[in-house]
Structure 1
Amino acid sequence: MCGRYAFYEHQELSERLTNVSLDTAFFDQFRPTWNAAPSQLLPVIVEDSGKVSVRGMSWGLIPKWTKPGERPKVAPINARSETVTEKPMFRSLVKHRRCIVPANGFYEWKRLPEGKQPFYIEPAGQQLMLFAGLFDEAKMVGGDPLESFSIITTHANEAMSSLHDRMPVILDDADIEAWLDRDLTEFEPLEHLMRPVPNEAIAIHEVSKDVNNARHNDPELIEPLDQSAGPSDS
């Protein structure tokens, strides 16, 4: 599962997406976040009519059949890679509405006798992770559209497995163009992407429990926990 992540530095995006022309105008109004949480408006990369751009979407997928003013029964923040072609909420999106969710790292919690301890997982040797995602558009009251997204997860690699049995699908640079290609409507050529990254691709460290509160949002959240310090009072 991926329930919180950080996205505070986007300069590497244009360098990583070398095969596409990326419109990054959304970043002119986006504030960095070290504690991205469900329901927040967050940057998502999509392809539309041959143009790749960054758009703001709500985290937690609201399906298109949701009626204006209706509270969705579920708004999943994650989609299991093993079942995305089967579940009604996702199976059409896999064909036509794939996206990429950029992040600098994500959080996961480990169950310990004294309670849950948060850890931060970041890329080793790079600034960015590119999560595979799915998005949809629903009509809100007044007819305004709301785009929302889910992050696709797969089974955890060995390095992650002591924290959780799931992790986000993290795309290689070579996979970006195919994943965003709306003309590619068959999932079979993309199935091989639904795997965990190698252990050496990530670095993991303990962080403060301040991240448990979504109202906390500062760079200190991703800093390694000072084991000599007392426990957080939050």
Structure 2
Amino acid sequence: MPGRLSIYNDKAFKIDAKELIKNDMVGELNPRYNIPPTIPIPALLNNGNYLYTHFGYLPSWAFSKASMNINARSESIYEKKTFRDSFKYRRCIIPINGFYEWAKEDKEKTPYLVSDIKNEYLALAGIWDEYFDTELNMKIVTVALITCDANEKLGKIHHRMPVVLEKKDFSTWLNSSDLREVIKLFSVYPNEKIKMYEVTSEVNKVLFNEPSCIDEVIKIDKKDEEIKEVGQLSLF
């Protein structure tokens, strides 16, 4: 269940979705490398608007933000009252450059970045609704990511992952009224299409938002270092 995202470049997505974007309200993307829930994220709604949305879904009839959901399970989305109307009528695509998951060992949490091995972005399936924010005194668009079982690679550290859409399925996801056709898109993204690597533990801090969030942590095997040192000494 991805609770942190990295969204710093949406240019490739805009090119791939240009026929579906009718109104680009995002413009020049504000890059963020460690996005927690409630922070604005871009999403392409099925009405053609590409805009910033509230990361955390609230149905229009919610009484407060306490009922916020950042994820909706693909297995039950069409049954649950909270999500079913949005699944039928208000679907969206959330383009991200990567998401974080944590490997847990005892009390240690090691963050990993998950991204596409070939493309510059992952197009996540999502749902949206409009919620009246009393603090802002206005309606805001809120979104949730849809999740499914993790593939084998990611499953080593977490059992769930977001539903990732292929470019050829963008229009079906946004526009099809045939829910049986839409549900077929809830497939597990294959192992060979993702890359996953350890990143700095600074990502654990919600307020840490630097480009270094996405840099791979390279660990040097101490045994290899010892062998290297012995080899160097033998030359003299």
Letter in 1 for 2:170: I
2:62 to 62, 66, 69: 66
Runs of 4+ in 1 over 2 A off after TM superposition: 18-25, 140-143
Letter in 2 for 1:31: N
Distance 2:144 2:75 in 1: 14
1:174 to 168, 176, 179: 168
The yes-or-no answer on 1:205 pairing with 2:197 is yes
Distance 1:22 1:3 in 2: 29
The yes-or-no answer on 1:77 pairing with 2:73 is no
Whether the aligned pair in 2 keeps the contact of 1:64 and 1:137 (CA below 8 Å) is yes
What is the match of residue 159 of structure 2? 165
Whether the aligned pair in 2 keeps the contact of 1:14 and 1:22 (CA below 8 Å) is no
Distance 1:153 1:2 in 2: 9
Distance 1:91 1:99 in 2: 14
Query: Based on CA coordinates, which of the two structures has the bigger radius of gyration?
Result: 2
| Alpha-carbon displacement from aligned partner over 1:50-72 (angstroms, at most 9, x marks no partner) | xx2311111111111024xxx33
Q: Which has the higher helix share?
A: 2
How does the TM-score come out when normalised to structure 2? 0.88
Percentage identity across aligned positions?
A: 30
**Structure 1: unaligned runs, 5 residues or longer:** 229-234
Aligned residue runs from structure 1 range 12-27, under 5 A = 12-17=12-17, 19-27=19-27
What is the match of residue 104 of structure 2? 111
Aligned-pair distance for 1:15? 2.4
Whether the aligned pair in 2 keeps the contact of 1:155 and 1:166 (CA below 8 Å) is yes
Letter in 2 for 1:88: K
Aligned-pair distance for 1:119? 0.4
2:183 to 188, 191, 194: 191
Letter in 2 for 1:34: Y
Letter in 2 for 1:135: W
| Alpha-carbon displacement from aligned partner over 1:17-38 (angstroms, at most 9, x marks no partner) | 254345334133x410101110
**Structure 2: unaligned runs, 5 residues or longer:** 221-236
What is the match of residue 210 of structure 2? 218
Aligned-pair distance for 1:112? 1.4
Give the total of aligned pairs. Answer: 220
Distance 1:25 1:148 in 2: 15
How does the TM-score come out when normalised to structure 1? 0.88
Aligned-pair distance for 1:209? 1.1
Aligned residue runs from structure 1 range 75-154, under 5 A = 75-141=68-134, 144-154=138-148
Root mean square deviation, CA, Å = 1.7
Letter in 2 for 1:174: K
